[in-house]
Amino acid sequence: MVEVPEYTVLAVASVLGVLLAERFWWRTGLLRTAQFWVAMGIVFFFQTLVDGWLTKLRAPIVIYNPAHLTGIRVPFDIPVEDYAFGFSMVSLTLVAWVRLGRRHESPAPERPR
């Protein structure tokens, strides 16, 4: 019986969860905007710096159990799963932010009934 790398599974599942929830529930259209993807690109760049510091094997702040990872750690010593984790966390935040913003800014829906 092969041991399941649980963090890998959860990380992938979280991304799928966000994508499915956006597609069928939230429907903000956020993932179809340049603004989102440019922002995510910038976020991933800075994640590499911050997460690189947190996970560096020389002096780690967060210590991972190798049994629950794929073991792919790039760049620096960042577990590849962390990028999925980061994507889910930030995109969930932005979806919530955009949904709340619309509610505040457009109290009267333009759509005719």
Partner 1 sequence: MQDRYQYLLLMASCLVITLPLEFVLRARVYRRWRQLVRALLPVLGIFLVWDWVGIVRGHWQYSDRYTTGILLPFGIPVEEFVFFVVVPICGVLTYEAVGTVLGRVRPAGRAGSEPGLGSAASSGFGGEVVDG
Provide the minimum distance between the beta carbon of 83 and partner 1 in the complex, in angstroms, as a whole number: 13
Please choose, from the candidates 63, 55, 62, 70, the residue with its C-alpha nearest in 3D space to the C-alpha of residue 5. 70
Angle at 83 between CA 79 and CA 85, to 5 degrees: 100
Nearer to partner 1, 105 or 113 (CB): 105
Which tokens in the block code for residue 104?
């505040």
Helix axes 81-105, 34-55, angle to 10 degrees: 140
Nearer to partner 1, 45 or 75 (CB): 45
Provide the minimum distance between the beta carbon of 75 and partner 1 in the complex, in angstroms, as a whole number: 18
Q: Find how far residue 27's CA is from the centre of its chain.
A: 17
Nearer to partner 1, 16 or 38 (CB): 38
Angle at 78 between CA 76 and CA 80, to 5 degrees: 125
Provide the minimum distance between the beta carbon of 77 and partner 1 in the complex, in angstroms, as a whole number: 13
Provide the minimum distance between the beta carbon of 78 and partner 1 in the complex, in angstroms, as a whole number: 13
Residues that bind partner 1 (CB under 8 A): 6-7, 10, 14, 28-30, 32-36, 38-39, 42-43, 46, 50, 53-54, 59-65, 67-68, 86, 89-90, 92-94, 96-98, 100-102, 104-106
